[in-house]
Amino acid sequence: MSAQIEKAAALLRQGELVAFPTETVYGLGADAANPAAVAKIFAAKGRPSDHPLIVHIPGVEHLDRWARKIPETAFALAKAFWPGPLTLILKRQPDVSDAVTGGQDTVGLRVPGHPLALELLKAFGGGVAAPSANRFGHVSPTAAQHVHDELGNAVSMVLDGGPCRVGIESTIVDLTGPQSRILRPGMISAVDLGRVLGRLPGTGDDAVPRAPGSLESHYAPRTPLALLQPDVVIFAVREALAANRRIGVIAPMACPLSDERIVWREIAGDHVGFAHDIYALLRELDSLDCMRIVVQTPPQSDNWRAINDRLRRAVAGIEK
């Protein structure tokens, strides 16, 4: 084990916060069994304390320390997708603290698919409660530098595992009801889950929004953001130039105009590549004092569902 991992695990044992990479986004971790440590997460993020956190565990064999009445579907999904970008909502064990669950009788659990995260969890030997390591309502961090920019000294240590492979937050599926339900779409899709479950999960659309990610104000940059169809992107660019302002554009093609006020970032045209880069690009363009940021509307097919979900919320967050 590296000295760095040992130090991070020791800090967690002492009740300190450690930010760490996962395959989705960076997490802000605390010992899930220590309510005082978990309280520090809410203070650092500026997040309301009734919002539940995901408990990250080193392996499926830790499930019953946190959850009870675990259905077979949980083990089937864990076998298929863990370590990986899937969070399971299960009935909680009675001793799981309200600080973690937001006072609900359920708990969110996941085994992250990143080597550093797994090393840390194994060295620590317990559950690590971790939301995304951004301030409440901001874009999730996908690189260690983003965490430093967001949280500065509020965190004792940031483990640097490079850029996150997936780039958007895990799929959350609720297994506590009669039918499994997706509460937050992610890169593991309803169809992927349905293959293992034998039937498609429901979507959370009709549900009370228990996940803060389902509040419209989330994932937002500060600069006004617009999602525009390909044929109107150029009109937004012309409008900014007419106002002599800088404009940021994220689109899957090269910039058709040459003007230093246009900050054009070409993004991948496939959903995997797009998810990988979108948060870092939004963050970069948000720091440049643009009149607005324009993202060319991605395809609406099932593969793009989670990406469209995050973009729609980012737009709503600043227009509300």
State which residue, 137 or 252, has the beta carbon closest to ligand TXA.
Answer: 137
Local structure of 293: helix, strand or coil: strand
C-alpha span between 319 and 108 (Å, rounded): 30
Sequence-ordered alpha helix ranges (H) in 48-105: 63-66, 72-81, 98-101
**Other Cβ atoms within 10 Å of 256 Cβ, number:** 11
8 φ, ψ (degrees, to nearest 5): -65, -45
Please compute Rg for the chain using Cα positions: 20
Residues 212-231 that bind ligand TXA (CB under 6 A): 212-213
Should residue 52 be labelled a site residue for ligand TXA when binding is judged by CB under 6 A?
yes
State which residue, 111 or 315, has the beta carbon closest to ligand TXA.
Answer: 111
Tell me which residue has its CB nearest to Mg ion.
132
Should residue 132 be labelled a site residue for Mg ion when binding is judged by CB under 5 A?
yes
Count of residues interacting with ligand TXA (CB under 6 A): 29
Amino acid present at 42? F
**Is 317:218 a contact under the CB 8 Å cutoff?**
yes
State which residue, 88 or 290, has the beta carbon closest to Mg ion.
Answer: 88
C-alpha span between 22 and 139 (Å, rounded): 16
State which residue, 53 or 225, has the beta carbon closest to Mg ion.
Answer: 53
C-alpha span between 202 and 176 (Å, rounded): 13
Length of the chain: 320
Should residue 53 be labelled a site residue for ligand TXA when binding is judged by CB under 6 A?
yes
Among 119, 150, 169, 286, binds ligand TXA (CB under 6 A): 169
Binding site partner of 145, from Mg ion, ligand TXA, none, Cβ cut-off 5-8 A by kind: none
Should residue 104 be labelled a site residue for ligand TXA when binding is judged by CB under 6 A?
yes
Tell me which residue has its CB nearest to ligand TXA.
131
Strand order in the sheet with 247-251: 225-228, 292-296, 247-251, 262-266
Local structure of 156: helix, strand or coil: coil
CB of 50 to ligand TXA, least distance (A): 10
Straight-line distance from the first to the last Cα atom of the chain, in angstroms, rounded to the nearest whole number: 48
State which residue, 38 or 107, has the beta carbon closest to ligand TXA.
Answer: 107
Among 9, 17, 25, 251, binds ligand TXA (CB under 6 A): 25
**Other Cβ atoms within 10 Å of 305 Cβ, number:** 19
Among 182, 211, 278, 282, binds ligand TXA (CB under 6 A): 211
**Is 306:171 a contact under the CB 8 Å cutoff?**
yes
Binding site partner of 250, from Mg ion, ligand TXA, none, Cβ cut-off 5-8 A by kind: none
CB of 183 to ligand TXA, least distance (A): 6
C-alpha span between 128 and 18 (Å, rounded): 10
CB of 308 to ligand TXA, least distance (A): 17
Write the interaction track for ligand TXA spanning residues 105-124; mark x where CB under 6 A is met and - where it is not.
-xxx-x-x------------
CB of 216 to ligand TXA, least distance (A): 13
Should residue 132 be labelled a site residue for ligand TXA when binding is judged by CB under 6 A?
yes
| Residues linked to residue 128 through DSSP beta bridges, in sequence order | 31, 56
302 φ, ψ (degrees, to nearest 5): -55, -40
- Contacts with Mg ion by CB under 5 A lie at 132
- Contacts with ligand TXA by CB under 6 A lie at 22, 24-25, 27, 51-54, 85, 87, 89, 101, 104, 106-108, 110, 112, 130-132, 169-170, 172, 183, 210-213
